[in-house]
Amino acid sequence: MKQEKSPFEPDETASSTGMRKGLTSYGDQGFSLFLRKAFIKGAGFTDSALDRPVVGIANTGSAYNPCHGNAPQLIEAVKRGVMLAGGLPMDFPTISVHESFAAPTSMYLRNLMAMDTEEMVRAQPMDAVVLIGGCDKTVPAQLMGAASAGIPAIQLITGSMLTGSHRGERVGACTDCRRYWGKYRAGEIDVQESVDVNNQLVASVGTCSVMGTASTMACIAEALGMTVPGGASPPAVTADRIRIAEQTGAQAVHMARAGLSIDRILTPEAFENAMRVLLAIGGSTNGIVHLTAIAGRMGLEIDMAALDRMGRETPVLLDLKPSGQHYMEDFHAAGGMATLLRELKPLLRLDALTVTGRTLGEELERAGPGFPQDVVRPMGNPIYPQGGIAVLKGNLAPGGAIIKQSAADPRLMEHEGRAVVFEGIEDLVNRIDSDDLDVAAEDILVLKNIGPKGAPGMPEAGYIPIPRKLARAGVKDMVRISDGRMSGTAFGTIVLHVTPESAVGGPLAYVRTGDRVRLSVKNRDISLLISDEELASRARQAPVQEPTAERGYRKLFLQSVTQADQGVDFDFLRAPRMVGKTPR
C-alpha cells in the first residue's frame, strides 16, 4: 500500500519555517511536530492557519506599565495587519519594565528583559517578530534581544501620552513633573497645588510626552530603519497609532517572506543615522548608552570621538521640551520624523535599508515635500547650534563622560569650583536638604556610587537636586557630576556616565570635598585639579571594594555588567567579537 506523506514530516533544513521551526527536543522530530500541532489545535487553530508564516508579537502589556496601556488595542491591530497579509499572528508575553515601578531602577532590569526577548524569540516558532515597546528601557531591551536573535524583527512603539492642563498651563511628564516638584521643594507652590498638578501631568496612557528617553528611543528606532515610516511619533491613543500597528503587522509578514533579517538593517550606516538623529532631536543622554548596547550586539563599537565631531556639525532642530517648548503630539502634527529627516537629509546615510525593504532615502522621497510648521526648525535657524550632547574626557573620567549641553546653563559650561561630595544616594538624601550643608551656588556637587555596579543599575540619580537652602535662595542650576544617568526629561549642567565608575575604583571614587574641579565644555574637559601622585596615593590608602552579591540575578548582574562605554550590557551578551566601528 502506498504510504501518504505525513503532515508531521519534519523539515530538517535551515530554511524550515512557521510551526516547523525550532522543534522541541524529544528525540523524534516527527513526534515533536505532531505534539506541537495537537497542542495548538487545542486552541482551535486549523491546519490552513498553521501553514502560514508565523509572526510573533512581543506583548509587553502590564498593569504596572501605563506607558504600554494601549497594548491590547495595538495587538488587535497588529494581528489584523498580519492576517490581511496572509500570516498567522501569535502574541506572547515578555517582561515589561516601567520607570516608576522598577526597583532599584529600570536599568537594572533592561538586560534581563533583553535576555527574555532574545530567548523567547529564539525558542518559539516564528518567522518574524513585532516588538511592542515604548517606556524607556523596553525599546532598547527589545532591539538588543532581537539583534542577537537574528530573525526579521520590526519595532512598534506604543506612542506618547497626551498633554494635560493645570490651571491654564499645558503640562506633560516628565519635564513638568520635575519642574513642579522643584517649585514644591522651593516652597513656591502649596500641598493642594502639588496634588492638583499630579492629576494632570500624565493625561492618558502612553510614554512621556517630552524628548525623554522613550521619545528618543522611538525616534532612534525609526532612524535605524526598525519601524515603518512615521512609526515614532503618533500618540498612544490616536487612530494614527492604530494604523501604524496594522501596517507593522502586515510588514512583518512581508519581511518574513523576504527573509529580511535584522542584520541587514542594523548596519553601521543605520547607527550613524541614529546618532545623527539623537543629536538633532536634543535626545536623552540615555540614548547613547542604549545605542552602544544595541550596536555591541551587532559587533559594532560606537566611536565616541566621532559622535562628538558629529555633534559639532549637527544642530538641534527639534523644538521639544526639555531643550525647547513643544511636546511629542506637536511633533506628530508637524509631520513627525519625515519632517526632521528631510531637514537632516544632507547629513544622512540615505542608502541604509529599512524594514520596508526600501532605503531611508527612498522612504523620504515617498513621504513627499512637507508643509509649514514650527516644531522642526530649518538647519539655518536651529534651537541650539550644536548637537545636544558633548563627550568629555579628563583625569576625572579617563573612559569618558557626557553632558547634555542643550539642556545646560550656558553660564556654567566653563566653570571651576569646589567639590561638595556625596558618597552615595543615601548620603545625598541625608544631607542635601540640611541647613548645615556647607555649600554655595558656585560649588560643584559630586555624587559617587551610582554607576552600573554602584547602585546597582546606574539609576537616573545624576540629576542631583539643588540643595534646599540654595533652591530657596533662587539658585536654579549648578554643575553636578556623577557616574550615573539622568532622565532625558531633566535639565541642568549635569555631567553623567563618568567612566570608570567609582564603585570599581575610577578616579571619581577619590574626590574629596574641598578639591577643585574644572568643567570646560569648549575643551571637552572634566578634570580633578590634583596631581597624579596625590590621586594614586589616595587610591593606595583607601582602595575600593567592588560590590558583590551571593546569589540570583544580582550576582549575575554584578559579575557581568559592563561600563557605560560598552552600553552597560552584560559582557556575555555582547557579540563574541567586535567587527567594526560606527560611523565607519
Whole-number minimum distance, CB 235 to ligand FES, in Å? 12
In whole angstroms, give the CA distance from residue 97 to residue 314: 32
Q: Tell whether residue 135 is a contact of ligand FES (CB under 6 A).
A: yes
**Judged by CB under 6 A, which of 98, 290, 377, 404 binds ligand FES?**
98
In whole angstroms, give the CA distance from residue 465 to residue 189: 17
* DSSP classification of residue 165: E
CB 160, CB 207: distance < 8 Å: yes
In whole angstroms, give the CA distance from residue 499 to residue 60: 32
Q: Which is nearer to ligand FES, 135 or 490 (CB)?
A: 135
- At 8, list the grid cell: 508531521
Q: Tell whether residue 217 is a contact of ligand FES (CB under 6 A).
A: no
Whole-number minimum distance, CB 161 to ligand FES, in Å? 8
**Judged by CB under 6 A, which of 91, 99, 272, 460 binds ligand FES?**
99
- At 496, list the grid cell: 553623567
Q: Which is nearer to ligand FES, 132 or 214 (CB)?
A: 214
Q: Which is nearer to ligand FES, 214 or 340 (CB)?
A: 214
In Å, how far from its chain's centre is CA 440? 34
Q: Tell whether residue 208 is a contact of ligand FES (CB under 6 A).
A: yes
**Judged by CB under 6 A, which of 74, 147, 214, 458 binds ligand FES?**
214
Q: Tell whether residue 460 is a contact of ligand FES (CB under 6 A).
A: no
Contacting range for ligand FES; rule: CB under 6 A; set: 206-214, 354-362, 385-393, 568-576: 206-214
Q: Which is nearer to ligand FES, 208 or 334 (CB)?
A: 208
Q: Tell whether residue 141 is a contact of ligand FES (CB under 6 A).
A: no
Contacting range for ligand FES; rule: CB under 6 A; set: 20-28, 95-103, 225-233, 343-351: 95-103
Q: Which is nearer to ligand FES, 212 or 507 (CB)?
A: 212
Whole-number minimum distance, CB 230 to ligand FES, in Å? 20
- At 163, list the grid cell: 498633554
Measured CA to CA in angstroms, residue 233 lies from 63, 206, 332 at distances of 23, 11, 5
* DSSP classification of residue 132: E
In whole angstroms, give the CA distance from residue 213 to residue 293: 15
In whole angstroms, give the CA distance from residue 182 to residue 180: 5
Contacting range for ligand FES; rule: CB under 6 A; set: 88-96, 117-125, 205-213, 440-448: 205-213
Measured CA to CA in angstroms, residue 197 lies from 181, 190, 202, 212, 356 at distances of 10, 11, 9, 20, 42
In whole angstroms, give the CA distance from residue 558 to residue 94: 23
**Judged by CB under 6 A, which of 19, 58, 67, 403 binds ligand FES?**
67
Whole-number minimum distance, CB 236 to ligand FES, in Å? 10
Contacting range for ligand FES; rule: CB under 6 A; set: 96-104, 110-118, 459-467, 540-548: 96-104
Q: Tell whether residue 321 is a contact of ligand FES (CB under 6 A).
A: no
Q: Tell whether residue 220 is a contact of ligand FES (CB under 6 A).
A: no
In whole angstroms, give the CA distance from residue 80 to residue 245: 9
60 dihedral zone (left: phi>0; alpha: psi -120 to 50; beta) = alpha
Q: Which is nearer to ligand FES, 24 or 100 (CB)?
A: 100
Residue type, 490: A
- From the number of C-beta atoms within 10 Å of its C-beta (0-12, 13-18, 19+), residue 372 rates as exposed
For residues 475 to 504, the per-residue mask of contacts with ligand FES, x marking binding by CB under 6 A and - elsewhere, is: ------------------------------
Give the helix, strand, coil percentages of the chain, each rounded to 5. 40, 15, 45
Q: Which is nearer to ligand FES, 287 or 394 (CB)?
A: 287
| Residues in Cβ contact with 376 at an 8 Å cutoff, skipping those fewer than 6 apart | 317, 318, 319, 331, 334, 335, 339, 340, 343
Strands 397-404, 494-496: parallel, antiparallel or unpaired by DSSP?
antiparallel
Q: Tell whether residue 207 is a contact of ligand FES (CB under 6 A).
A: yes
Q: Tell whether residue 162 is a contact of ligand FES (CB under 6 A).
A: no
Q: Which is nearer to ligand FES, 64 or 553 (CB)?
A: 64
Q: Which is nearer to ligand FES, 463 or 510 (CB)?
A: 463
For residues 240 to 259, the per-residue mask of contacts with ligand FES, x marking binding by CB under 6 A and - elsewhere, is: --------------------
The residue assigned the cell 527639534 is 318
Q: Is 354 helix (H, G, I), strand (E, B) or coil?
A: coil
- At 120, list the grid cell: 523567547
**Judged by CB under 6 A, which of 116, 136, 246, 303 binds ligand FES?**
136
Whole-number minimum distance, CB 12 to ligand FES, in Å? 44
Q: Give residues in contact with ligand FES (CB under 6 A).
A: 67, 98-100, 135-136, 173-174, 207-208, 212, 214
